[in-house]
Structure 1
Amino acid sequence: MTTKAFSGRLAAWALSAFALSACSQQQGGAAEGDKGAAAGSKGAGDKGAAGDKGGKAGVAKIALLLPESKTARYESKDRPFFEAKVKALCPDCQVLASNANQDASQQQAQAEAALTNGASVLVLDAVDSASAAVIANKAKAQKVPVIAYDRLVPGTDAIDYYVSFDNEAVGRLQGESLLKALNNRPTARVVMINGAATDNNGLTFKKGAHSALDGKVQVVKEYDTPDWSPDKAQDQMTQALTALNNQVDGVYAANDGTAGGAIAAMKAAGIKPLPPVTGQDAELAAVQRILVGEQYMTVYKAIKPQAEAAAVIAYHLATGKPVPTDLTGGKTVNNGTKDVPSVLLVPLAVTKENLKDTVIADAFWTQEQICTAQYAEACKSAGL
């Protein structure tokens, strides 16, 4: 399904939600009287609604637990898109948003605080898998549903929904794009800068990338990047260049932050021209690097439909309404313990050639944001 089609379906669900609204300005009125509005709502009360926990009766609280801020998307895209959708569906609902800054113990504390404050549902983008399972289990013990957002949480039956992209496909896209840039040359020397080994997504991206690259290039050095840190990725790339005497034909970088670190290391080493480098998230800095030829590609994941899908599910769970079955289309992802109903969006590979038709066409970034004075000439050359 295209992201635009998915957005259209979300708009239809939004209209339907308003027609059914238990969370509008009139919530708690006669229409909800027979559903126990004073206690939140029938289903929400069963799942630990705010009214049952001493919060304002009838006001659903939704916790959004984000993992870190080194990757720009979470605070600039995911959070505002999610909050705006919840507000559109339910003006009186409260979003309890927090960011763990890549600290698993901090995320656990934030989750506990959200539960104490009466959260009716947790939308959890995990810092790491082990601590996330603990969070989910605590929520389940309090009858609070959990939506795994962006990153699947393995090893627990306490996950109710999963909203993300096909993450193995993301890694495969990156690997296939790198092969294309290298003209499928089997002697090409590739350094792999993977994501964090503690992040289930990082492992899945790596699996997808290896499925594309193995046996088709020479992977001469490979690293997992703690905390997805661009600084650590830069250090790893510096180590690789030293060991390889700067003889590198391509770099698999798992996201745009690690790509930026790898590129900084190669520029510091005086490598010209830079070899093709992959990325992910379509960060503004990465898009600009693509324009000037420093980064070959990124993976564009349309975050708005992802955040809005999570908001639609959270709204229904928090207000005790059945989640629309066509939202997941019957898809599930097994997390090692259960088959989790899942919304899986389609990622897109973005290079200079299709930049205008993807991130700009979707207004993910505007031409004005991209084409600052420093990049004006590159934009002109690219037809922007």
Structure 2
Amino acid sequence: MESEKVFRDLLEEIAKEQNYKEYSLEVSPIFTGGANYSSLLFGGTISAPNKESLKVFGKVAAMNPSLRDEMASSALFDIERIVYEELVKIYEKIEKKHGIPEEDRLVFCKFYGSSSGVNQETIILEDLTANGYTLHDRMKSVDWPYASKAVEVLAKFHALSMCYEEEYPDSFERHGKHFATILKNIPDFFNKAFKMTFPHSLAVVKEENKERFKAFFTDEDKIDFCQFFKPVRKPVLIHGDYRPSNLMHRNNADGSVDVIPVDFQSIQPSSGIIDLLYFIFMGTDGAFRKKYYKKLIELYYTTISRMLRAYGLNPDKVYSREDFEYELKEKLPYGLVVSAFALSMVTVESVDAPSLAEERAGLDSFVVKPGKLFAGRLNDVVDDYVEWGLL
């Protein structure tokens, strides 16, 4: 009830800013069934006579004090506010400057406002569901039309970041340092949480792969999230949590798919490969990867290369194929590590999804009851890494 009041109060301010007179508000909670852990979500409608109703989506921070401090969760909302208030405007300016056609421009949610205060951090955006967008079912592997569009959007996002660094290096460095400072404790937090979740992942690995799986994870240098998030050759501002639960999509009548990323609380300077691998292994199963993994990898680089040229940049100098392949080789173990760590959360059954707002929520909240998909999805990943010679 308190979170709903925070959302409603901010909605009142937005109604006045948008010149709604004699308006009424409708507010309803949104339940994601395990797709979101750190916020409470609400839908809102502002209505007034002789004016089109405004439908919005909002999230209010919901995390207990100890986790808030350890994860700097209050600052995560600050990151997202900066993305919408500053970074999006810079990106749009760059796209306009270079005459990027509409079909190649990034699409972001419209941002309406935010508020701060302990356990009152709130972000309000347009409600994309009003325009036919929805979330992918996290219990199903994505298909090629969806995956190819999501990877294309990701590549455009990273290419635009590269152009940002080239044209506004001081501003790029300022944003990167600010985001990195806010998120500096997150990789170490993941390292600690991983040690608690690993036994549960090991338990479901097939017997023929169990020993090699265990041996891989005995080398702590291979599973250090601090190292994974360090840039290699070309730093970009990555999304940081690029998975289907943070992508709104719309299926069009012609078979095409529109994708709009949301939840920019983890944006930070890193290698773009981190976003790419995370999307692939959180959103696909083994059958999909056998057919499309190489195509997705190729699509990612060719799209970056094409967009760099659109920005008047030479891919061979800014981000060559050699650079890309080197980074992919260096970061490829991340796909295995993050699968062992996060697939249990991604595939958790709705009834078993944890709440980080509970008073006793802590590192052990990342240890969830394995859902019915977890063992199969994780073993698919292990099989891939055995085939690739990394296990």
Query: TM over 0.5: same fold?
Result: no
Larger Rg: 1
Instruction: Place the TM-score, normalised by the shorter chain, in its bin.
Output: under 0.3
TM-score normalised by the chain length of structure 1:
0.25
